[in-house]
Amino acid sequence: MDEVIQVTQWLSSITPRKKAKLFFFTTHADAPSPMVGSNDVDTHEETQLPLATTVALHNFKNIDEFLKKKVNTFSCYNVIENEITKTDYEYLRFYSACKYLDVVPPFLDLEKISAIQNKFEMTDEERDYRLLLDSADLVLEKVCDSLKPAGVSQMWTALRKDRNLIRGVKTIDIIGFFVDPNPTGIKECLFFFIVRFLQKADKINRVNTNRLERLIAQCDESSSCEEGKTIDFIIDSLRFYPTELYPFGFCLIMRVIEGRDGAMQEIEKTMEISRHLGMITHTEKNPTKETIELVKKELMKPKYQFYSSFTCWFMSHGDSNSMVLADGETIEREWFLTSFPDISTFQLKPKVFFMVSCRGANKFSLKGDEFEGQSATCDYYGIGSALIRNRMLDITDSVRDISYVQPMMDTLVAYSTILDHLSGRANTHGSIYVDRACVLMSENISRGRSLTEILEHLSQDLHEILQETMDEDRIVYKQACHYDSFFRKTLKLPYTRHPKEDVHSAPQ
């Protein structure tokens, strides 16, 4: 069959709502730049004009033409370059979006998908199409699904009132002030236009969504929300780090074995919980400085931009400032913690570090006969008053910026013990902190708990446990853990245990 006919039949089989979503996912706002094959031309018209004309004319002609152009580009594309190109990213995004929406063109060359994945050096686990979807776009899709056409129309009206923001933007004028978002697919096009416009204007990104939240907050709840949804529910969904679908993120486990009883148990527990959470995991046994540098270099590879979070477990001996490596050398803990968050592939994404080592030799000792022989080692208020609000600073958009970000932002560091103190371990099971952390995370999958809630529970749980030193003094003591957070959103654990699903992978 002629390819033109095939493309026409494929487009005619897709509903307007799915066309709008396919266009949205394919024109991903945070595509890596600059890339080989990119001419640095402003893509404002390419990503917003088709949406604007569709809303204004109630006609999907321009979106159809955009999708046809993409298909034709991919059809003629030869995967021969050694360097990763912009088209490689676009091809993977397009394929994953089609797979997610169940509209994969029957004529799409899946062998090219596999060849591109080879260029990215993707493992079998990483060839799952869900890795290629942008989790932030999936959250925005759910927000759109939670709003009625009237709600999106009210957002549009609120946006149009911000004259400083929309001044001189031609696509805004194409849509006009009054919009009928009721025809099928038009609500989606208008919402996605608003989102992409705010992203291009540098007003929102995957972490900073305040400007979008303020638009939603101006909607009338009775007419703007789908059944069972509320304005608060919709806004709350934007206040979590986007970690939708599989995988939950990338997990790096580094552990020193020598001189650490129960170290193998630690690795089994951390690997098991990472699998339950739906993470793709890499382990490093007995790391050295060279190992750490090689891992950092690996994490800078383009494929890691597809991950939505990063978790690192580092388990070794240590003191107040440093950690002991497998070869007896030490590294400064602060150097380790500040070097990883600066890796570009994980910017604007949650990064969690579990630092499991002693930070000194002090102990919170317990004295008394009753402790001998006991040891584990053997109404919400909102600011609603207008008077109070009037006394607060008026922070305008002109003094807000989301372009420049401190490297440590969106990072959380969890310590197994407090400064200058021991981190206890059991002879056969390794670190008690690791054991309790894995148990609590496993128990709270599907309960909607955030990571910080679990860490607070862990702090309470660990501090109840009586431990005993392994020297001749046999001192009974308690351990206190804590965490430092630079998070700007809440990181929730997934609602389901994520198995690996080979059926969704592209052909090898």
pLDDT tens for each residue of 9-36: 999 999 999 999 999 999 875 544 434 4
> Which residues is 250 bridged to in the sheet?
280, 310
Alpha-carbon distances of 194 from 18, 24, 115, 154, 155, rounded to whole Å: 18, 11, 35, 12, 8
pLDDT beyond 60 at 392: no
Cβ atoms of residues 396 and 338 within 8 Å: no
Average pLDDT in the chain: 85
What is the DSSP code (8-state) at residue 85? Answer: B
**Domain match, 282 and 322 both:** yes
**C-alpha closest to that of 155 among 182, 186, 191:** 191
CA–chain centroid gap for 333, Å, is 25
Q: Domain ends where: 200, 220, 239?
A: 239
DSSP β-ladder status, 279-285 and 249-255? parallel
**Domain match, 232 and 293 both:** no
**Domain match, 225 and 321 both:** no
Residue 507 has a CB neighbour count (10 Å cut-off) of 8
Residue given tokens 């799952």 in the structure block: 128
**C-alpha closest to that of 442 among 430, 421, 457:** 457
Q: Is residue 506 part of a domain?
A: no
**Domain match, 226 and 279 both:** no
E-only strand ranges, 363-506? 364-365, 411-415, 425-426, 430-431, 467-468, 476-478, 482-485
Phi, psi at 138, each rounded to 5°: -65, -40
170-174, 183-187, 318-322, 419-423 — most confident range? 183-187
CA geometry: angle at 72 spanning 69 and 78, to 5°? 130
**Domain match, 256 and 228 both:** no
Six-digit token pair at 354? Answer: 């579990």
Q: Domain ends where: 211, 239, 267?
A: 239
Q: What was the pLDDT predicted at 369? A: 56
**Domain match, 197 and 51 both:** yes
**Domain match, 117 and 256 both:** no
**Which structural domain range is residue 442 located in?**
249-364+406-486
Residue 350 has a CB neighbour count (10 Å cut-off) of 25
**Domain match, 218 and 261 both:** no
> Which band of pLDDT confidence, cut at 50, 70 and 90, is reported for residue 405?
confident
CA dihedral 384, 385, 388, 389 (to 10 degrees): 60
> Which band of pLDDT confidence, cut at 50, 70 and 90, is reported for residue 381?
very low
> Which band of pLDDT confidence, cut at 50, 70 and 90, is reported for residue 141?
very high
Q: Is residue 373 part of a domain?
A: no
CATH number (domain holding residue 430):
3.40.50.1460
Q: Is residue 388 part of a domain?
A: no
State the total domains in the chain: 2
CA–chain centroid gap for 482, Å, is 23
Residue 23 has a CB neighbour count (10 Å cut-off) of 25
pLDDT tens-digit map of 320-343:
899 999 999 999 999 998 888 778
> Which band of pLDDT confidence, cut at 50, 70 and 90, is reported for residue 314?
very high
Cβ atoms of residues 290 and 320 within 8 Å: no
**Domain match, 283 and 166 both:** no
Task: Tell me how far apart the alpha carbons of residues 48 and 256 are, in angstroms, rounded to a whole number.
Answer: 52
**Domain match, 170 and 104 both:** yes
Segment 295-301 shows an average pLDDT of: 94
pLDDT tens-digit map of 449-480:
899 999 999 998 888 888 887 777 788 888 99
* Percentage of the chain modeled with pLDDT above 90: 55
Q: Is residue 416 part of a domain?
A: yes
Phi, psi at 413, each rounded to 5°: -115, 115
Q: Is residue 35 part of a domain?
A: no
Task: List, in order, residues 6 or more apart from 327 with CB less than 8 Å away.
Answer: 288
pLDDT beyond 50 at 265: yes
Q: Is residue 59 part of a domain?
A: yes
> Which residues is 280 bridged to in the sheet?
250
Six-digit token pair at 70? Answer: 């993409």
**C-alpha closest to that of 266 among 328, 313, 319:** 313
Task: List, in order, residues 6 or more apart from 487 with CB less than 8 Å away.
Answer: 241, 350, 410, 411, 412, 452
Helix (H, G, I), strand (E, B) or coil at 492: strand
Q: Is residue 369 part of a domain?
A: no
**Domain match, 222 and 280 both:** no
Q: What is the pTM of this model?
A: 0.83
Q: Is residue 495 part of a domain?
A: no
**Domain match, 210 and 337 both:** no
Q: Domain ends where: 239, 274, 298?
A: 239
- Please tell me the least confidently modeled range out of 92-101, 168-177, 375-384, 391-400: 375-384
